[in-house]
Amino acid sequence: MPPRTSTVVPRRLPLVVTADERLLDDLLRLAALAGTEVDLAADPVAARSRQAVAPLVLVGADQADAYLRARLPRRPRLVLVGRADQEPPWQIAEVLGAEHVAILPAAEPWLVDRFTDDGDAERPAAAVVGVIGGRGGAGASVLAGALSVTAARRGLRSLLVDADPLGGGLDLVLGWEQIDGLRWPALADSDGRIDPAALAVALPCRGDLGLLSWDRGEPLPLPAATMTAALDAARRERDLIVVDLPRRPDDAAVAAMHLTDRVLVLVPAELRATAATARVIARIHRHCTDLSLVVRGPAPGRLRAREIGRTLGLPVTGVLQPEPRVSRGLERGEAPGASGRGPLAELCQRIVAGLVDRTAAAS
């Protein structure tokens, strides 16, 4: 009988693609902290045969343009890495399909965690939808709240995230200001490491709906790395994340935009609101490419939704008719969409169903 042989399956290593010696030194140091080795490639040509099997691919900002020209296939768990003294490669990240942009040294703890996570365990990532108003007072926070409430009513583990420190707090939109739990200020000084399970337990929750919002204190600067870490942790524990985005995004809001699967832009059916929305779209389009409109009535000048969509160059996801009882309910602490009836609830049901179907198809 011939001797029995064993097949040794080589350990798959994270792939680092960079010719920047300073950046390479930093990444090797972080990999060592995580207790792992890495596979090295100086450019995308050298990486071509290895990037498909690597559990994680880190592309240095110095190779971002070359990586795009090389036309390598898109893949999950690809991260663009740069330094704070460089121009952040936000725009090219969208084109490459990068899941994250990590800026050192702020993102060092987050990268150590990524090196530790070998990516072998399949985790269905939550869908992330952003909501932003085309002008002030458009009602984006109400729409964001209603989407998260609708998802929870459907049995999805949803999370409503407040990315607007000057928005007054989404706990007021849900009527949750008296519910204890972690708010953004408690995370503002975090080192970029957030445990998914611990975050889920610490947040204000009712049933399948959780909230990450601001408190009534003075808003603190929120690092982009903290926003990224929080959303990344939430995606492991939730089915749907709804992010209320500010019209003038700071670094944290930009980081949130880069994690969205779709951004809904709420525009009142008015001429000046449409003009204001055009400016908002121009500001955010480089950070999130999948944009669509929700048009809110009434239309004093009889401006039609399809005309607004044609003017702004975006598809129209839905139209909202006036619903005074929603405004009255907010004043009484009633969460929007909680009844499951009315134009707002019906629109949110269609949007959530579409997001769930899209995520399932992608998985």
Instruction: Over range 296-303, report the average pLDDT.
Output: 92
End-to-end CA gap in the chain:
46
Question: What is the percent of the chain where pLDDT is above 70?
Answer: 92
CA distance 228 to 158: 17
> Does the pLDDT value for residue 59 go beyond 50?
yes
pLDDT at 8 (0 to 100): 34
For 2-51, write each residue's pLDDT tens digit.
333 333 334 578 999 999 999 999 999 999 998 899 999 999 999 887 88
pLDDT at 305 (0 to 100): 96
Q: Which two tokens stand for residue 189?
A: 């000084």
What is the number of other CB atoms lying within 10 angstroms of the CB of residue 321?
12
Instruction: Over range 54-60, report the average pLDDT.
Output: 90
Q: Are 201 and 90 in contact (CB under 8 A)?
A: no
> Does the pLDDT value for residue 65 go beyond 80?
yes
Classified as helix, coil or strand, 303 is: coil
> What's the whole-number average pLDDT of the chain?
87
For 138-158, write each residue's pLDDT tens digit.
999 999 999 999 999 999 999
> Does the pLDDT value for residue 304 go beyond 80?
yes
More confident position, 116 or 136: 136
pLDDT at 191 (0 to 100): 58
CA distance 146 to 336: 5
